[in-house]
């Protein structure tokens, strides 16, 4: 009898297996539970393929961008607003992975690992997501792009709130082009349709890179303020010819910047050296991945390790293998505008439960990039560029600082058109990035877009 | 009324969780913390040293061997020398073919003799005086942890069932009187059982039953909200199960008469399986249902009870391979029939139970490894010869790749279990219930989604803790039969829970078995309660208050014909 009882210990093996298995299962629920629960197959959330379990998506002024009614997902009445906010609001199928309706799926559905979908079950809808986006400004930006591919993004560099983020090409979510059309992609009309170019885009920076080169010059060349250069329209550096569109003549450091003189920067770059320039760029966030609304941004790329003197000359004016992410560029503008400390841009202000409780609130993150002294000087240089070259009339009352860029791309295509800048008006602390793909001159294509958007923003705050 | 229920729903969720967790934890603590209430039936006092030995067991074995209850390590004592048994007319001493014999008051006895207070017993030269106790029970000295209030437990069960009833009054949107009746009936059943077992069966501990009632409440809740028309049948099954539980508990008191039952049961079991195989219509790919006059039963569930019973009885004779042979034959026949019915899950459960009981009986690893090896070969052969059987398991570990095909049930179980969170969405609010076999095979997922992960995980954990309790307390059981049957039964329940839960969550291949005490299915519930009686038989307190009312002749204890001297341990399994 004792022996028999002793042998029953064999049963403990099974017990150990079961408890171990339950441990594994519990672990899987803890790790994957949210992912599983928010799958489209979950009929708590999805009805007839539509994400009906989601709460509302609202802009900063309470304008409803997306909502569920009678078991159907609906969007804002205005087609302009629908298109301009497409990549931020996102779709319900998950093609636009950075859109709020995908990236904030569990928040929108009110999912919590503790209570599951209880909120949804009890109140019939999940949480509302309040965006920092201003739908009116976005619509103006959408109009200004006139259907050209590119990105317009503006944010408050004091608070980090993104007011406008328009990515093109886009489509009307209430009237989506057929899958066939998208598949065919006639004339490249739908290139990167589902990408939010603000966070996924990588562009040759062109002259906007001179901001970074200038910062590096201020850091690495002790007598930069006595720098003088006479532009003859071309300069040979290390056997490579660097050209300017016209002869700029005799200039100091600030004038080189505002004239955007390639030749002067080519000479300056040889004084800085490729490693210090790359190091400055890395300190300024090249190679860094930012978290934007639960999704990673594409990291800006710079690699000057194998660059010759000629390569370095072109790199200093943004025409080498260097690629810049617009979100990163926007952050950098924020840093320059805000005395060296960038408040990282974000688009989701808060998540609010059906009972009105704030479940999640944006916590702005601040990163220090440059010293206030350098930030002030760069601001001043960019201010001079607007005053002397681009025309202050484009940005009335804004005390705008800016830099255009005309980034040469592959042969046979027009260059990408850039404008980066920010307003020094205390009432309107806004930084902006505009990229128009193959748009031509920065000053003639991107700048007018920025001008329209900045004016609209100024109107909304004054 | 409906609005009133909806308003209270958030409160109900936490009330259900609180009551379920409280009762289960309280009952498990009580199981482990209780002290024995066994009476000292008498004492043996050494006439020279005055050292006294208490006689607590119904049968006490005396001998040189270490596995005896009283070990006397002297050369004059045989390995198993004698057994003192407590019978209705008093103490009886049996000489178990010892070399030097047993003397009572100086006279050598022949086989057995009645002994009384004051009699002097000489065992291999040692003399003891018997002092009979006054049959007084030792007061239960357990701590407060070991003495739960069953009134409180029943009151909480009442509240639990009323809550579930309220939540279920409008299954599918319409008021259902049947559902209300079922819950009131279930509450009545709990009280009737409590009174009956207290005053008629003279039981005073109900931990296992209370846990079973709690789990049944959850199961009835799920069935009631999904199948308002089937819930009455489910309650009927619970009633039959409780009746079966009581009947088996009474039968088990007469350990000696059980051996005659085993041939009958074994025959019936094989007969009904064979019958099913011949006449059953295939349902969902398995031919394991038998329809008799409008009532369909799952014979394999009933056979489970017989299987444990037969396994536990056959072996109580001797721990030799020979005694195992007939059990092996019986088991192979059962498992074979189940395979032919394509009921692989149940076949696996039977096989596991066989291995567990056979190992406990014989400790014969060699034979068992051979049996397992042959079984594994057989399984592989079937998978090769009948590829469509293998295809049933092809999505195992790949369920997410076949979300809408072979992995449909598993992925939906995971999705909806995660949807419920720790506290659940509330009874009736789930989505998993709309999927095929939700109340049977997928019930773990339904419980997770609607009652929350805490309660759903509590169920298998509770079975595991009961298994640990059975192993720890197995050696204290009054008879080897109880140990074998109890451990076998809880082993079966734990194994089945494992197949059920891990099958639908893709930790194991999906075999489609029910979750004990929870799943819809009448035969399954009846079987679970019968198995529970075996588990309860381990608990010494189950029989503590029971006074044997046997015939004057008494049933003789089993005495081995021959003592296996070479192994030297023979007979020690016999003293029940």
Of A2, A3, A44, the CB nearest to B431: A44
What is the domain range of residue A275?
A: 205-323
Contacts of B575 in chain A (CB under 8 A): 1
Nearest-Cα distance to chain B for A45, in Å, is 10
Choice among A192-206, B228-242, B369-383, B402-416 with the minimum mean pLDDT: B369-383
The mean per-residue pLDDT over the stretch A76-92 comes to 94
**Contact across the interface for B483 and A5, Cβ inside 8 Å:** yes
Choice between B290 and A357, residue whose per-residue pLDDT is larger: A357
The model's pLDDT over B445-465, given as tens digits with 9 standing for 90+, comes to 999 999 999 999 999 999 999
**E-state strands within B16-81:** 42-46, 52-55, 59-63, 70-71
Query: Would you say residue A273 lies in a domain?
Result: yes
B179 touches B171 (CB < 8 A)? yes
| Residue given tokens 């291999």 in the structure block | B124
Residue from B59, B71, B419 whose CB has the most chain A CBs within 10 Å, to mutate: B419
Rounded to an integer, what distance in angstroms lies between the CA atom of residue B492 and that of residue A68?
Answer: 49
Choice between A315 and A48, residue whose per-residue pLDDT is larger: A315
Query: Would you say residue A135 lies in a domain?
Result: no
Rounded to an integer, what distance in angstroms lies between the CA atom of residue A91 and that of residue B35?
Answer: 65
pLDDT more than 90, % of chain B: 39
DSSP state of A91: -
Is A186's Cβ below 8 Å from some Cβ in B?
no
Rounded to an integer, what distance in angstroms lies between the CA atom of residue A179 and that of residue A93?
Answer: 13
pLDDT of residue A12: 95
The ipTM estimated for the assembled molecules is 0.83
Of B356, B425, B475, the CB nearest to A121: B425
pLDDT of residue B57: 67
The mean per-residue pLDDT over the stretch B558-568 comes to 42
A329 touches A420 (CB < 8 A)? yes
Ramachandran angles phi, psi of A267, nearest 5° = -70, -45
Is A9's Cβ below 8 Å from some Cβ in B?
yes
Is B29's Cβ below 8 Å from some Cβ in A?
no
Residue from B318, B372, B418 whose CB has the most chain A CBs within 10 Å, to mutate: B418
Of A1, A4, A116, the CB nearest to B425: A116
Q: Is the pLDDT of residue B573 over 80?
A: no
Is A5's Cβ below 8 Å from some Cβ in B?
yes
Choice among A370-384, B285-299, B474-488 with the minimum mean pLDDT: B285-299
pLDDT of residue A127: 93
Is A440's Cβ below 8 Å from some Cβ in B?
no
**Nearest chain A alpha carbon to B500:** A18
pLDDT of residue B59: 67
Among B residues 248-277, those touching chain A with beta carbons less than 8 Å apart: none
The CB-side HSE value for B272 (13 A sphere, CA atoms) comes to 20
Query: Would you say residue A264 lies in a domain?
Result: yes
DSSP state of B460: H
Choice between A97 and B135, residue whose per-residue pLDDT is larger: A97
Rounded to an integer, what distance in angstroms lies between the CA atom of residue A97 and that of residue A221?
Answer: 44
Distances (CA, A) of A215 to A101, A263, A283, A435: 39, 17, 11, 22
pLDDT of residue B27: 93
**Contact across the interface for B457 and A43, Cβ inside 8 Å:** no
Query: Would you say residue A180 lies in a domain?
Result: no
pLDDT of residue B564: 42
Write down the mean pLDDT value for chain B. Answer: 83
Query: Would you say residue A226 lies in a domain?
Result: yes
The model's pLDDT over A135-193, given as tens digits with 9 standing for 90+, comes to 999 999 999 999 999 999 999 999 999 999 999 999 999 988 888 888 888 888 888 89
Choice between B544 and B458, residue whose per-residue pLDDT is larger: B458
pLDDT of residue B315: 45
Rounded to an integer, what distance in angstroms lies between the CA atom of residue A248 and that of residue A259?
Answer: 7
Rounded to an integer, what distance in angstroms lies between the CA atom of residue A56 and that of residue A48?
Answer: 19
**Contact across the interface for A1 and B483, Cβ inside 8 Å:** yes
Write down the mean pLDDT value for chain A. Answer: 92
**Contact across the interface for A14 and B491, Cβ inside 8 Å:** yes
Of A5, A21, A41, the CB nearest to B403: A41
**Contact across the interface for A15 and B474, Cβ inside 8 Å:** no
Contacts of A9 in chain B (CB under 8 A): 471
Q: Is the pLDDT of residue A72 over 80?
A: yes
Choice between B424 and B293, residue whose per-residue pLDDT is larger: B424
User: Residue B96: pLDDT band by 50, 70, 90 thresholds?
Assistant: confident
Is A2's Cβ below 8 Å from some Cβ in B?
yes
**Nearest chain A alpha carbon to B435:** A43
Of B415, B453, B474, the CB nearest to A8: B474
Is A13's Cβ below 8 Å from some Cβ in B?
no
Residue B491 corresponds to which tokens in the numbers above?
Answer: 């082993």
pLDDT of residue A182: 87
**Contact across the interface for B494 and A36, Cβ inside 8 Å:** no
B443 touches B504 (CB < 8 A)? no
**Nearest chain B alpha carbon to A124:** B429
The model's pLDDT over A88-132, given as tens digits with 9 standing for 90+, comes to 999 988 899 999 999 998 899 999 889 999 988 888 888 999 999
Query: Would you say residue A274 lies in a domain?
Result: yes
Nearest-Cα distance to chain B for A126, in Å, is 13
Is B495's Cβ below 8 Å from some Cβ in A?
yes
Query: Would you say residue A26 lies in a domain?
Result: no
Nearest-Cα distance to chain B for A100, in Å, is 20
**Contact across the interface for A21 and B498, Cβ inside 8 Å:** yes
Is B397's Cβ below 8 Å from some Cβ in A?
no
* Axis crossing angle, helix B258-279 with helix B321-340, rounded to the nearest 10: 20
The model's pLDDT over B425-443, given as tens digits with 9 standing for 90+, comes to 999 899 999 998 899 999 9
pLDDT of residue B234: 93
Of A12, A26, A113, the CB nearest to B457: A26
Of A1, A29, A32, the CB nearest to B453: A29
Is A6's Cβ below 8 Å from some Cβ in B?
yes
Is B372's Cβ below 8 Å from some Cβ in A?
no
**Contact across the interface for A41 and B411, Cβ inside 8 Å:** yes
**Contact across the interface for B418 and A33, Cβ inside 8 Å:** yes
Is A31's Cβ below 8 Å from some Cβ in B?
no
C-alpha gyration radius of chain A? 26
Is B212's Cβ below 8 Å from some Cβ in A?
no
**Contact across the interface for A33 and B572, Cβ inside 8 Å:** no
A22 touches B457 (CB < 8 A)? yes
Nearest-Cα distance to chain A for B85, in Å, is 16
User: Residue B550: pLDDT band by 50, 70, 90 thresholds?
Assistant: very low
Is A122's Cβ below 8 Å from some Cβ in B?
yes
DSSP H or E run through A403:
strand A400-407
**Nearest chain B alpha carbon to A19:** B461
Residue B424 corresponds to which tokens in the numbers above?
Answer: 């659940």
pLDDT more than 70, % of chain A: 99
Contacts of B67 in chain A (CB under 8 A): 1-3
User: Residue B554: pLDDT band by 50, 70, 90 thresholds?
Assistant: very low
pLDDT of residue B524: 93
Is A236's Cβ below 8 Å from some Cβ in B?
no
Distances (CA, A) of B336 to A301, B75, B315, B347: 67, 50, 22, 8
The count of structural domains within chain A is: 1
The pTM score is 0.80
Q: Is the pLDDT of residue B180 over 50?
A: yes
Is B515's Cβ below 8 Å from some Cβ in A?
no
Q: Is the pLDDT of residue B556 over 70?
A: no
Sign of CA dihedral B495, B498, B504, B509: negative
Q: Which CATH number do you get for residue A318?
A: 3.40.710.10
Is B501's Cβ below 8 Å from some Cβ in A?
yes
The mean per-residue pLDDT over the stretch A304-327 comes to 92
Is B441's Cβ below 8 Å from some Cβ in A?
no
Rounded to an integer, what distance in angstroms lies between the CA atom of residue B80 and that of residue B572?
Answer: 7
Query: Would you say residue A308 lies in a domain?
Result: yes
DSSP H or E run through A231:
strand A228-231
The mean per-residue pLDDT over the stretch B150-161 comes to 94
Q: Is the pLDDT of residue B568 over 60?
A: no
Nearest C-alpha neighbor of B93 from the set B572, B559, B568, B545: B559
CA B424 and chain centroid, separation = 30
Of A4, A36, A122, the CB nearest to B484: A4
């Amino acid at each position: 009898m004792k022996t028999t009882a002793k042998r029953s210990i064999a049963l403990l093996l099974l017990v150990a297996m079961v408890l171990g298995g339950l441990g594994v299962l519990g672990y899987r629920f803890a790790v994957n539970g949210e992912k599983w629960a928010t799958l489209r197959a979950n009929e708590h959330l999805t009805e007839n393929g539509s994400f009906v379990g989601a709460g509302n998506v609202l802009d900063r002024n309470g304008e409803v961008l997306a909502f569920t009614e009678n078991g159907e997902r609906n969007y804002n009445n205005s087609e302009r607003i629908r298109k301009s906010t497409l990549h931020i609001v996102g779709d319900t199928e998950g093609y636009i992975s950075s859109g709020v309706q995908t990236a904030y799926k569990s928040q929108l559905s009110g999912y919590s690992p503790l209570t599951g979908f209880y909120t949804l079950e009890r109140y019939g809808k999940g949480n509302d997501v309040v965006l920092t986006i201003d739908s009116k400004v976005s619509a103006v930006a959408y109009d200004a792009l006139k259907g050209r591919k590119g990105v317009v993004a503006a944010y408050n560099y004091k608070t980090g709130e993104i007011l406008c983020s328009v990515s093109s090409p886009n489509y009307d979510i209430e009237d989506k082009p057929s899958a066939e059309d998208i598949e065919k992609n006639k004339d490249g009309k739908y290139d990167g349709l589902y990408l939010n170019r603000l966070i996924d885009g990588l562009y040759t920076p062109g002259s906007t890179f001179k901001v970074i080169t200038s910062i590096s010059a201020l850091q690495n060349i002790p007598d930069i303020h006595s720098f003088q250069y006479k532009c003859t329209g071309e300069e040979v550096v290390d056997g490579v010819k660097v050209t300017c569109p016209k002869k700029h003549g005799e200039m100091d450091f600030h004038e080189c910047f505002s004239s955007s003189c390639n030749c002067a920067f080519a000479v300056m770059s040889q004084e800085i050296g490729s490693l210090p320039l790359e190091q400055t760029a890395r300190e300024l966030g090249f190679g860094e991945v930012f978290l934007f609304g639960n999704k990673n941004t594409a990291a800006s790329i710079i690699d000057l390790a194998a660059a010759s003197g000629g390569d370095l000359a072109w790199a200093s004016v943004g025409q080498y293998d260097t690629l810049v992410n617009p979100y990163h560029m926007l952050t950098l503008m924020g840093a320059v505008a805000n005395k060296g400390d960038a408040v990282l841009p974000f688009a989701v202000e808060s998540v609010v439960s059906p009972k009105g409780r704030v479940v999640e609130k944006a916590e702005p993150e601040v990163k220090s990039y440059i010293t206030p002294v350098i930030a002030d000087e760069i601001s001043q240089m960019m201010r001079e560029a607007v005053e002397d070259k681009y025309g202050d009339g484009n940005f009335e009352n804004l005390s705008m600082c800016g830099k255009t860029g005309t980034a040469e791309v592959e042969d046979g295509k027009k260059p990408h058109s850039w404008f980066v800048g920010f307003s020094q008006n205390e009432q309107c602390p806004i930084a902006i990035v505009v990229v128009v793909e193959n748009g031509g001159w920065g000053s003639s294509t991107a700048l007018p877009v920025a001008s329209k958007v900045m004016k609209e923003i100024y109107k909304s705050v004054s | 009324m409906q609005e009133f229920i909806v308003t209270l729903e958030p409160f109900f969720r936490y009330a259900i969780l609180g009551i379920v967790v409280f009762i289960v934890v309280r009952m498990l603590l009580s199981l482990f913390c209780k002290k024995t209430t066994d009476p000292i039936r008498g004492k043996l006092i050494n006439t020279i040293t005055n050292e006294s030995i208490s006689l607590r067991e119904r049968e006490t074995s005396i001998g040189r061997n270490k596995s005896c209850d009283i070990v006397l390590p002297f050369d004059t004592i045989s390995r198993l020398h004698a057994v003192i048994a407590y019978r209705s007319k008093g103490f009886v001493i049996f000489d178990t073919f010892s070399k030097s014999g047993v003397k009572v008051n100086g006279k050598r006895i022949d086989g057995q003799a009645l002994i009384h207070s004051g009699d002097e017993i000489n065992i291999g030269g040692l003399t003891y005086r018997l002092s009979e106790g006054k049959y007084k029970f030792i007061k239960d000295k357990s701590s407060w942890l070991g003495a739960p209030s069953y009134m409180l437990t029943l009151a909480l069960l009442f509240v639990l069932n009323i809550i579930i009833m309220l939540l279920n009054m409008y299954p599918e949107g319409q008021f259902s009187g049947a559902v209300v009746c079922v819950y009131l009936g279930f509450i009545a059943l709990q009280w009737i059982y409590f009174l009956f077992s207290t005053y008629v069966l003279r039981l005073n501990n109900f931990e296992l039953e209370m846990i079973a009632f709690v789990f049944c409440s959850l199961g009835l809740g799920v069935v009631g909200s999904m199948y308002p028309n089937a819930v009455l049948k489910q309650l009927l099954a619970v009633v039959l199960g409780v009746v079966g539980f009581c009947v088996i508990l009474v039968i088990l008191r007469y350990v000696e008469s059980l051996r005659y039952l085993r041939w009958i049961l074994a025959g019936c079991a094989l007969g009904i399986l064979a019958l099913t195989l011949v006449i059953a219509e295939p349902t969902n790919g398995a031919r394991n249902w038998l329809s008799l006059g409008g009532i369909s039963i799952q014979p394999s569930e009933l056979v489970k009870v017989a299987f444990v019973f037969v396994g536990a009885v056959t072996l109580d004779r001797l721990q030799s391979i020979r005694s195992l042979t007939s059990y092996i034959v019986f088991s192979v026949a059962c498992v074979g029939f189940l395979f032919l019915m394509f009921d692989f899950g149940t076949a696996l459960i039977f096989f596991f139970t066989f291995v567990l009981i056979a190992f406990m009986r014989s400790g014969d690893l060699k034979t068992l490894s051979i049996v397992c090896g042959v079984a594994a070969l057989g399984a592989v052969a079937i998978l090769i010869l009948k590829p469509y059987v293998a295809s049933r398991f092809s999505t195992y570990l790949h369920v997410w790749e076949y979300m809408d095909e072979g992995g449909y049930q598993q992925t939906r179980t995971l999705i909806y279990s995660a949807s419920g969170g720790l506290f659940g969405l509330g009874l009736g609010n789930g989505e998993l219930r709309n999927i095929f076999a939700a109340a049977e095979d997928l019930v773990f997922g339904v419980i997770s989604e609607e009652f929350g992960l805490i309660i759903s995980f509590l169920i298998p954990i509770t079975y595991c803790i009961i298994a640990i309790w059975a192993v720890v307390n197995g050696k204290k059981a009054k008879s080897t039969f109880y140990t074998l049957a109890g451990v076998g039964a809880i082993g079966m329940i734990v194994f089945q829970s494992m197949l059920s839960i891990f099958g639908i969550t893709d930790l194991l291949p999906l075999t489609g078995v029910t979750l004990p005490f929870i799943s819809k299915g009448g035969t399954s519930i009846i079987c679970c309660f019968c198995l529970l009686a075996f588990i309860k038989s381990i608990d010494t307190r189950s029989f503590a208050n029971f006074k044997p009312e046997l015939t004057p002749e008494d049933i003789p204890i089993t005495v081995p014909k021959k003592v296996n001297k070479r192994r030297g341990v023979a007979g020690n399994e016999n003293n029940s």
